[in-house]
Amino acid sequence: MSIGAFGIKLGMTRVFLKDGTAVPVSVIKVPKHVITAIKTVEKDGYNAVQVGAFEVKEKKLTKPEIGHLKKAGVVLLRRLKEFRVDNPQDYQVGQELTVAELFKPGDLVDVVGISKGRGFAGTMKRWDFGGFPRSHGHRYHRAVGSIGQRTDPGRVWKGKRMAGHWGAEKVRVQSLLVVDVVSDKGVILVKGSVPGHPKGILVIERSKIAHRKSQMLKLNRIKHIPENLLRREA
């Protein structure tokens, strides 16, 4: 286990490999992080490191948050999160972490964010239902259809896929490849899309499924991307 980080989604673009292949990537800005607390098995029952990011004014925090950060001797930070680690003794409270220390090209990461809110949506848009035939004589085309049961159980099952609010929920996209790390700009490029709207807050952490055989095979197929990336000289 290793430390993750907060990020800000800037948008999507593409990068090119030396053979001309275009690779779609998401651009994520990773601000400077500060370690605000260290948890150990002896004292807390588990090993973890708490990191914070996004400097903020005092009026934006609660008194317990202000007291916690001042006790650690760090600047006031808006977002805090714990990450489980195996070696908490390697870190110190107040230590600053940069994007180059957190990630490197070729890593597999999970990205967690709040998906775009789509408002109220019907079943065809929300759940990709097929709908009814559009031929003459049909009164319903985009309706949900029958949702009920017979006498047994005589009710609608909980969790039935129906129309309702779509989006604006936590989404985890797993096992994305870190294509490049632009340390001077505090930016990482991740292959594929990540949840949320531009300027949305993300959590980036080491992939929880990277150890699986399927992901090892996947990494073998795409590990050439960071190696053959066509980097432009500044």
What's the pLDDT at 233? 53
**What percent of the chain is helix, strand and coil (3-state, nearest 5)?**
20, 35, 45
Which distant-in-sequence residues (6+ apart) come within 8 Å of 221 by Cβ? none
Residue type, 210: A
Which two tokens mark 143? 């309706």
pLDDT band at residue 234 using 50, 70 and 90 as cut-offs: very low
Look at residue 219 in the predicted model and tell me its pLDDT. 93
- The CA distances from residue 160 to 71, 123, 131, in Å, are 49, 11, 16
* Mean predicted confidence (pLDDT) in 9-25: 95
State pLDDT tens for residues 135-173: 888 888 898 888 888 888 889 999 999 999 999 999 999
189/141: higher pLDDT: 189
For 42-90, write each residue's pLDDT tens digit. 999 999 999 999 999 999 999 999 999 999 999 999 999 999 998 888 9
pLDDT at 59: 94
Residue 114, C-beta contacts closer than 8 angstroms, at least 6 positions apart: 168, 169, 170, 171, 195, 196, 200, 201
Q: pTM above 0.85?
A: yes
Query: What is the pLDDT, as a whole number, of residue 1?
Result: 55
- Region 193-204 average pLDDT: 96
Residue type, 162: M
Domains and CATH numbers, the chain: 5-118+176-227 (3.30.160.810), 119-166 (no CATH)
pLDDT average, residue stretch 2-17: 94
- Residue 3: pLDDT band by 50, 70, 90 thresholds? confident
Of the pLDDT bands very low, low, confident and very high (cuts 50, 70, 90), residue 114 is: very high
The answer, yes or no, to whether residue 221 has pLDDT greater than 50, is: yes
